[in-house]
A = this chain, B = another copy of it.
Amino acid sequence: MARPHAPRGQGRARVIDAALELFAEHGVSGTSLQMIADHLGVTKAAVYYQFHAKEDIVLAVVESAFDEMRGTIADAEAAASADDATGVALAGLVDLIIGHRQVMASVSRDPELGRILESHEAFNSLTSRLGELLLGPVPDTRRRVAASVIGGLAHAAADPLLADIDDAVLREQLLHLGTLLLSSGSPTRTKATS
């Protein structure tokens, strides 16, 4: 292809870093190519030299996090029991959230980012596999709600109010809360829910 490779590829990496930061702060829809260019001190055309479309930037921003997620999910799916699988998936997800705070927060919150990812089958497959791992073999209502709240962990990790908490401590807290959510016994006297 005519696409130039990225030798010491600083160009592409710099665009990705700037985009990541701006996407997290303004959302994908709220971030223009002009903003990215300004943030780097270059022109829009310089950005277009590295990426031919905004969507390509979006995909590049999430790529490394999703590569890691692929590995985690494969590990979890190879676990001996369903409970082990859930545990591995949760721990992997928390690690992912800690290691890619801004990306994971954007993925879980940004509607436009979600729509772009949904249009790529590889991402759909990953998220549905992760969903199945967290839900377990017999997803009842309680578990389904809990799994959905797990998405809130990414939100918390990117919360500016928690920016002072260091990674190891936050990781431990999120893992604790995630485990709690997934293992909470009987809520109250719940009736059958259809």
Contacts and interface: CB of A to CB of B under 8 A. Distances in A.
Number of copies: 2
Contacts of A156: 145, 148-149, 151-152
**Interface footprint category on A:** 35 or more
A149 B177 contact: yes
Contacts of A144: 161-162, 165
A184 B190 CA distance: 19
A161 to B, nearest CB: 7
Given A141-B169, A146-B173, A177-B181, 7 more contacts: A25-B111, A30-B112, A144-B161, A148-B155, A149-B155, A152-B152, A166-B193
Interface centre among A148, A153, A174 (most CB of B within 10 A): A148
Given A25-B111, A176-B184, A145 B170 contact: yes
Interface of A: 25-27, 29-30, 108-112, 131, 141-142, 144-146, 148-153, 155-156, 159, 161-162, 164-166, 168-170, 172-174, 176-177, 180-181, 184, 187-188, 190-191, 193-194
A194 B168 CA distance: 9
B145 A174 contact: yes
A145 B169 CA distance: 10
A23 to B, nearest CB: 9
B111 A141 contact: no
A14 B18 CA distance: 39
Nearest to A193: B169
A193 B156 CA distance: 17
